[in-house]
Amino acid sequence: MTVRKGEFVSIVGASGCGKSTLLKVIAGLLEQSAGDIRLRGTDSGSGANRLGHIAYMPQQDLLLPWRTVLDNCVLPLEIKGRASSGTKAEARDMLKRVGLAGYELAYPHELSGGMRQRAAFVRTLMNGGELMLLDEPFGALDAMTKRDMHRWLLELWGNLKRTVMFITHDLEEAVLLSDRIFLMPAGSGGALQEMNVGLPRPRSMQMNFEPGFVSLRAELERRLYETRAV
Partner 1 sequence: MKRAPFNELIHRSGAFLLLLLPVLAIWEAAVRLELVPSFILPAPSSIWTALVRNAGLLLGTHLPATLEEVAIGCMMSVAGGILLGIGMHLSRTLEKALYPLIIISQTIPLIALSPIFIMWFGYSLWSKVAVVFLTAFFPVVVGVYDGLGKSRGAYQELLLTMGASRRQLLLKIGVPLALPSFFSGLKLTVVYCVIGATIGEWLGGTRGLGYYSRRMAGSLHSAEMFAAIALLSALGIALFLTVRLLEHQILKKRGTY
Interacting positions 112-171 with partner 1 (CB under 8 A): 127
For ligand ATP, the closer of residues 182 and 213 by Cβ is: 182
* Region near Mg ion per CB under 5 A, out of 55-63, 70-78, 146-154, 202-210: 55-63
- Residue 145 interacts with Mg ion (CB under 5 A): yes or no: no
- 118's contact among partner 1, ligand ATP, a copy of itself, none, with CB below 5 to 8 A by partner kind, is a copy of itself
- 99's contact among ligand ATP, partner 1, a copy of itself, none, with CB below 5 to 8 A by partner kind, is a copy of itself
Pick one of 25, 55, 91, 167: the residue that binds partner 1 (CB under 8 A): 55
Residues in the chain: 230
- N- to C-terminal Cα separation, the chain: 21
Pick one of 111, 132, 165, 195: the residue that binds ligand ATP (CB under 6 A): 111
- Residue 26 interacts with ligand ATP (CB under 6 A): yes or no: no
Q: Residue 59: left if φ>0, alpha if ψ -120 to 50, beta else—which one?
A: alpha
Q: Residue 95: left if φ>0, alpha if ψ -120 to 50, beta else—which one?
A: alpha
Pick one of 3, 7, 20, 148: the residue that binds ligand ATP (CB under 6 A): 20
Site string for partner 1, 88-107 (x = CB under 8 A): -------------------x
Rounded Cα gap, residues 165 and 134, in angstroms:
6
- Amino acid (1-letter code) at residue 191: A
Pick one of 2, 4, 16, 198: the residue that binds ligand ATP (CB under 6 A): 16
Contact positions toward ligand ATP, by CB under 6 A?
Answer: 13, 15-21, 59, 109-115, 140
